[in-house]
Chain A
């Protein structure tokens, strides 16, 4: 039973560039949530996708956008990268209607230089 898969595992980008991170949810899950985890901090909620629509959003600027595909996989896009965007980006999947927490992937480590 495959868990949550994220790609790439590591990424280095230059300030001002754009980046796309990808996530495949756990088999049977239909909801994907994205979190940003700065070094030494707890994960911060970015947004959640269900039925290909953004269902909830945290306190992140519009530079952060996402997409969910019919197969439930998801992308996180960040435009105009800032040094402060350097973090571990975590994808978590769940089943809509099941309030039983998330299954997380191992994350994508983004470094902006």
Chain B
């Protein structure tokens, strides 16, 4: 069975700090590596994604770092804000995406 492991389960960061969430996968056939953000009562929303041909992608305060050989990728949130408080999921795959267990981020004001 395809496994996706996400860490940490929860994270508390001060406003302005850096939040780092990690994801490890097993299936080397995956070729799309997204992060989703989910607020309570809402469905997940695509935040940022990367393809395996690059090692890093930055969009505003959000950066994905990708290590193909280690089968890991991570989400970095720079200058974390209280509005970033949400649950974050990695969901690697190819046309079908396998979600991690989620990381609950709380950014303190």
Residues on A facing B (Cβ under 8 Å): 4, 33, 35, 40-45, 48, 56, 59, 90, 92, 94, 99-107
Contacts and interface: CB of A to CB of B under 8 A. Distances in A.
A99 B44 contact: no
Nearest to A96: B95
A64 B102 CA distance: 24
B45 A43 contact: no
A42 B96 contact: no
B62 interface: no
Nearest to B42: A106
A104 B96 contact: no
Nearest to B44: A104
B34 A101 contact: yes
Contacts of A40: 102
Size category of the B interface is 20 to 34
A101 B97 contact: yes
Name the residue among B41, B91, B95, B99 with the largest chain A CB count within 10 angstroms: B95
Contacts of A100: 32, 49
Contact of A102 (B6, B46, B98, B101): B46
30 contacts: A33-B96, A35-B99, A40-B102, A42-B6, A42-B100, A43-B91, A43-B99, A44-B99, A45-B96, A45-B98, A48-B95, A56-B96, A90-B43, A90-B44, A94-B95, A99-B32, A99-B95, A100-B32, A101-B32, A101-B34, A101-B36, A101-B91, A101-B97, A103-B46, A104-B36, A105-B43, A106-B41, A106-B42, A107-B42, A107-B43
A99 B31 contact: yes
Contacts of B32: 99-101
